[in-house]
Chain A
Amino acid sequence: MTMTIWQGVITVAVVAFGTILTRFLPFIVFPESKEPPRVIDYLGSVLPYAMTGLLVVYALRNTPILTGSHGIPELIACAVIVLLHWWKRNMLLSIASGTIVYMLLVQLVF
C-alpha cells in the first residue's frame, strides 16, 4: 500500500459513506409518509435489468481488444459461463468454472 494507514482508513470511510448515501437517498427523498410518483415505479421496474447489463460491461471495460491477448481469454471464459449457465442454471458452478477457465488461460496459454 502506497498510502499511510490513516489515508487508507479515510479512503475506506469515504467509500462506505458514498455507498450508504446511494442506499438511503431514495428513502430520504420519498419518506414513508409520501406516495412516490408513478414514473418512479416505472423506472424501478425496468432499471434493474439495464443495471446488470451495465455491470457486465463495466467489469469487462479494460479488456484489451486491439493489443496483447485481444480479449480472447475473456471471450472464452464468458462463453463457458453462458453455455454452462444456460444448461445447468447453477450460479456457483457457472461462476467457479468461468473463473477457473479464465485463470488457466491467462496463466498458462496467453
Chain B
Amino acid sequence: MRQIRNFFNMLNRKNVILILGILITGCMLLIVIFAPHLEMYDPTKMSLEDKFIPPCREHWFGTDHMGRDILSRVIEGSRVSLTTAVAVVLVSAALGTGIGLVSGFFGGFMDMILMRLVDVLLAFPTIVFALAISTLLGTGQGNLIIAICCVQWVRYARIARGEAILLKNAEYIEAAKAIGCSNLQLLAKYFFPNVISKILIMVSLDIGSIILYCASLSFLGLGAQPPSPDWGVMISDGKNYMQYAPWMTLFPGLAIAVSALGFNMMGDGIRDLLDPRMREAVQSE
C-alpha cells in the first residue's frame, strides 16, 4: 500500500513525461481491449467500389486498395502489433534475466561461454540478425516473436549478469550465505528482487523500439501475413500507392510512431522514478 502511495506522491511532482507516456499507453491499451467495439467497419471486408477513398466523414482515415476501412484496420492492427511487441519483450526479458543471473552467479566456464555468445550476438545489428533468423524459420507471427527474442535476450542477460556480479560481493549476500541460504534461495530472494527494477526499466524503454522492429519485419513480409491487419503490413501494402493514396501509409505510420513514443516516454519516466538517487532526492524532501 505504502509503495502505491509513494508512487502517486511522486507522480504529483510534475513528472510530465511519465504522465503523458502513461496516458498514451493507457489509451493504446483501451484500444487493444475494446477494438471490436471501436471498429465501424469489418477490417478485413473488401469492397472494390470503395477503394482509395481519401479521408472523409464515413472513412476517417480513408480506405485502401481493397476498399477496406483504414481506421478499423489501424485499430485492429493495434492488437497484432502491440501484443507481438509485449510478448517479445516479456519473453526475452525473462530469458535474458534468468540466463544472466545464473551466469553471473555461478561464474566459471559456463559464464565465459555464455558471455562470448552474447558478445557475438551483440556484434550484429539487431535487425539484420532478426531478419536472418526469421527467414530461416519462415513467416508468421510466432516465428517473428521467436526471431526477435533470439536477438533481444542478450541485452537483458548483459545487465542481469553485471548486476549479479556486483551483488555477489555485497555484504548481505555473504551474510545470507552465513545464515544458511542455499544457492536457489539466494537467486530467488536476493538476486532476483535486486535486479528486477533495472530490468523493468529496460523493458519499458525497449518496448518502443521493439514495436519498430516488429513493424519493419512485417513490412518486409516476415511477420503477420496480409489479410491480418498488422501496421507494418499495412505500410508495406500502401507503399505502392504512396503517390495517389498517401493516407494508406500515413495512418499506420502515425500509429507506430505514437505508440513507440508513448512507451518510450513511459520508460523514461519510470527510469527517472526508479533511479535510486532520484528517488532518494524525492523522498528526503
Mutual binders A and B: no
Which residues in B have some Cβ–Cβ distance to A below 8 Å? Answer: none
Chain A residues within 8 Å of B, Cβ to Cβ: none
